[in-house]
Homo-oligomer: A and B are copies of this chain.
C-alpha cells in the first residue's frame, strides 16, 4: 500500500486502478478509508488499499481582483474575453531585483494594454493561474480549455484570447485545438518575448493583433505573434502547425509544413483556407487525456532498452526519429530497434514516428527500414509536429472508446495537424 501523505483540508489527486480524481480530504475516524468531497459536492469514501498513488495539489495562487475596477467600455465595439496565464506578456520588470514579476491583477493587466480597449470591449479578463509556460502540464491545458469554453458560450463574446508564456505555448495551442471541438469562434493564443516595460517589447503589437484576430471570422485555434523581427505585422499560425523556433527573437513562432492562416497589420488578410465563424455553433469540450504518453528523440547508437522503460511506464510514445522516420535497424552493429519495438507493440504499447528534421514528412515506403518499422506496427504521423503528436497521442489514448482505432484516430485530421500531401509535398 502506498504511503499517504496528506491531511484533512488538503486537495489531493488520487490515482485509482481505473481513474484519477481530485478531491478535498475530509476529517474521518475510519482507519482504512479516506473520506473526500468531490468537486460535484458529493462525499465519498475511498478504501486506502485502492489508492495507487496520491499527491497533494498545491493551492492555486489567489489573484486578488480589486472590485472597484471596471473595464473600459465603448459603444459599438465587438466584445472579447481574455484569459491571462502568466509568462512574459503578463509580467513586468522588477526594478528591485532585475528579474521579471507577474502582473498581479486584472486592473494591472488592463492598464498595461490600454490600446486594446480602442478596438474591442473586453467583457471579461480572467486569470485562472499565473504559471510560466515551462512549468505547465496537461492539467493547465484542461483548465484553460474549460475557461475558453465558458467564454465562448457567452453570446456577447466574439472570440477569446489566451495570453501565455512562450516556452510551451505551441503545446498548449495543440491541446486547445483538440480539446475544443465544433468551434464556431476564434481562439487566439498570444505572448511576448520582451516584457511590456522594455522599449523593444513585442507585447503591444501581438496583443492588438490577437484582438483583431479574435474579432475576425476565422473559427480556429491560432497563435498570433510577430511575423519578423521588426515591429510591422503579425501572423496567425494554426495551433497544431506552429513551433517556437528561436529562444529569444520576437518572431519566435514559425509555421511548420503549412502556410500561416493570416497576416495581421491594419486589417486581417487571409493567406490560407480556414474554418469560417458560425456564432450559432456551440463549442464542445473534449478534455479526455492521459498523461501516460511520452516523447523521445532518437540519436545514433541509442540503446533500445530505453523502450523497455517507457513501455513499462507509459501507454504510448512519440519517437522523434531521423529523416523519413528511421531508427537503427538490422544493419546496425548491435542496437537494432525493430525487434524491441515489435515486442512492445505486440503487447499494446503505441509507438508513433515523427521526424527530428522538423520540416518535411515521415514516409515508411522509401527505404526497407521504414517498411520494417511499418510492419512492426509503428504509426507514421505524416508531417505532424512532434509536439502536436505528443499532445494528440495523450488525447487519443485518453478516449477509451477509441482503443481499437488508435492508428485511425492518430491519422484522422482533427485540427489541421496533417497537411495534405498534394499541397506541400
**A368 lies within 8 A of B138 (CB):** no
Q: Does A413 contact B (CB under 8 A)?
A: no
Please give, as numbers and ranges, the residues of chain B lying within 8 Å of A324 by CB-CB distance. 247-248
Binds B, one of A120-128, A208-216, A341-349, A357-365: A357-365
Q: Does A16 contact B (CB under 8 A)?
A: no
Measured between alpha carbons, how far is A58 from B247 in the docked complex, in Å?
43
Q: Does A226 contact B (CB under 8 A)?
A: no
With A135-B332, A244-B322, A244-B356 given, name 15 new contacts (CB 8 A). Answer: A13-B334, A132-B326, A132-B329, A133-B300, A137-B333, A138-B300, A139-B333, A140-B333, A244-B323, A247-B323, A247-B359, A247-B360, A248-B324, A295-B302, A309-B309
A390, closest chain B residue (CB) = B299
A338 to chain B, nearest CB (A): 10
Please give, as numbers and ranges, the residues of chain B lying within 8 Å of A56 by CB-CB distance. 334
Binds B, one of A2-10, A37-45, A165-173, A272-280: A165-173
Please give, as numbers and ranges, the residues of chain B lying within 8 Å of A313 by CB-CB distance. 303
A57, closest chain B residue (CB) = B333
**A358 lies within 8 A of B360 (CB):** no
> Which of A139, A246, A248 has most B Cβ within 10 Å?
A248
Q: Supply 28 A–B pairs (Cβ within 8 Å), ascending by A.
A: A57-B334, A58-B334, A86-B331, A99-B368, A100-B367, A131-B332, A132-B369, A133-B322, A134-B298, A134-B321, A134-B322, A134-B323, A134-B329, A135-B333, A140-B300, A168-B322, A171-B300, A245-B357, A245-B358, A246-B357, A246-B360, A247-B324, A247-B359, A247-B362, A248-B360, A248-B363, A294-B302, A309-B309
Total number of A residues with any Cβ neighbor in B under 8 Å: 79
A312, closest chain B residue (CB) = B309
**B297 lies within 8 A of A355 (CB):** no
Q: Does A48 contact B (CB under 8 A)?
A: no
Measured between alpha carbons, how far is A246 from B368 in the docked complex, in Å?
20
**A247 lies within 8 A of B355 (CB):** yes
Measured between alpha carbons, how far is A148 from B328 in the docked complex, in Å?
24
Q: Does A136 contact B (CB under 8 A)?
A: yes
**A332 lies within 8 A of B136 (CB):** yes
Measured between alpha carbons, how far is A309 from B311 in the docked complex, in Å?
13
Q: Which of B323, B332, B369 contacts A137 (CB 8 A)?
A: B332
